[in-house]
Chains A and B, each alone.
Chain A
């Protein structure tokens, strides 16, 4: 499986939000980290890649072009975890998972589906809450349910919009470990928007650094996480060294 994004542009009204986004081809088994400050266009790019938002340019995944095959076919292969967690209603996580699977006509029997949901909840530490109302759950747990909703679709392209922003240290690691495992075992591709540079360096095979709707640097974490890039995009002074495990570690000294 291979994802290629070339010259992708998108608008909100007349305002151009994404300017000819391209990044290196992504092979199956890889996690791509999208970095960039607030309002740099990460979520917009995610929505374009998922087909939720109209865009121009070439997005080709597994030999199929988004703009050729159309949204319906596309959404069979792609699942997005949006930046906002599921709404805090009286719905229970199980009902939400179940209705999502059924509304999208996923081809599982009831028994298979309940096994799949149970296992995902198990992995994400949600088993104790599976029949609680969403509005009684903490913000982090609801974010994990958002992730579970993407997992249940077993996508070939998994788009995660800040999947760990509300999670504690433990669950950040677990979640990205899980994603890494899934991606590597099934040869699928994941793209994750992240604000946490440490996680990005640790888990992503490729990084794309965005600013004002453009990708200004892309490549391996070592290539992208440089003092100059970070100073330019985030306006922070940093020192970068290599961790014991070989990935770059960013030490932020202060805002510029």
Chain B
């Protein structure tokens, strides 16, 4: 017979508390490791490049920009730093929106990209490149990102409408997202047909995704967007973890799952829209970063959400460094490298996980 009136001594630590906090400490350790790796990768990314700036010069130049000769100052402050930083903030943004979409849609393949955000951005970019429109009050250099952003946000609005109309049914949302991808691709292809060779090449280049066009303003915009949204994600970490226990469980606790889903999809698609509008569709990061974090850190979203952010930022930062160093004198578009960096990392973790007895 089970005795439920056993007295408990609240002052002592339970074995569960001991084991659970040991696990948490290990995960915090892994998170710190990821952060350290990210800092290292940022450093290497700044270091990488053809202009022969030495590590010492870079340190000096970072501390007092005036100490560098003008040419080097421009390379460091106007090229290397913004490129390296945009890799990290875009990676972080895509990782955050990826992990949240995966969790609320309970689908390992879901990401703002499968919801059509990036295809709509490509559509917007294609319009900008092929039709060369002018928009009042928008400087010509910003027409492309602005139209990409409008496309991406427009698709987010459509998705949101569907979320509302379907009462937050997961399958409907995912299917509609895929349909939207096809629709945007089809319309964009129409523009590509009428484009001349030059414009077509620009579209392809943009679609692959590259970081070299970004400056401080872009870094600042994406960073602000991330910093505004991240606290909301942190506020929801318990709810998101709970949701991993299944929709039936979540609903039975009185939580409004549909509302949670709507909120998360809103913020994830806004974040993804801002992330892709400047650098193009670097899609793979937002899918694989969260999965790597999952393999390393488990499903507790207190750890998993920051972990996904760090992993995705790390992958994009490494890819950014490699894009400048793999072929001397050539900058490979980073979108090509993310998959080439991410897939082996992902596979090795998957295989390890298989081998390790649980």
Contact = CB atoms under 8 A, between A and B. Distances in A.
A72 B2 CA distance: 33
A177 B4 CA distance: 10
A132 interface: yes
Contact of A149 (B245, B251, B294, B301): B245
Given A95-B300, A103-B255, A90 B6 contact: no
Interface stretch (A4-12, A77-85, A236-244, A245-253): A77-85
Given A99-B300, A133-B358, A119 B252 contact: no
Contacts, number: 135
Given A92-B298, A94-B20, A103-B241, A82 B4 contact: no
A256 B242 CA distance: 45
Contact of B4 (A92, A98, A123): A123
Given A84-B248, A96-B245, A131-B23, A119 B8 contact: yes
A90 B245 CA distance: 9
A74 B252 CA distance: 12
A102 B8 CA distance: 21
Given A99-B300, A111-B10, A91 B245 contact: yes
B249 A87 contact: yes
Contacts of B199: none
Interface residues of B, number: 38
A178 B2 contact: yes
Interface residues of A, number: 55
Contact of B2 (A52, A100, A123): A123
Interface of A, secondary structure class, is helix
B20 A98 contact: yes
B17 interface: yes
Nearest to A125: B2
A112 interface: yes
A99 B254 contact: no
Nearest to B9: A115
B254 A75 contact: yes
A92 B298 CA distance: 9
Interface string A126-154: 00001111101000000000100100010
Contacts of B1: 177
A100 B16 contact: no
A87 to B, nearest CB: 3
Contact of A83 (B247, B248, B253, B298): B248
Interface string B250-271: 0111110000000000000000
Interface of A: 50-52, 71-72, 74-75, 78-87, 89-92, 94-96, 98-100, 102-104, 110-112, 114-115, 117-119, 121, 123, 130-134, 136, 146, 149, 153, 174, 177-178, 181-182, 185
Interface of B: 1-2, 4-6, 8, 10, 13-17, 19-20, 23, 106, 237-239, 241-242, 244-249, 251-255, 294, 298-301, 358
The 6 closest A-B pairs by CB, nearest first: A75-B254, A87-B246, A99-B241, A114-B17, A103-B238, A118-B16
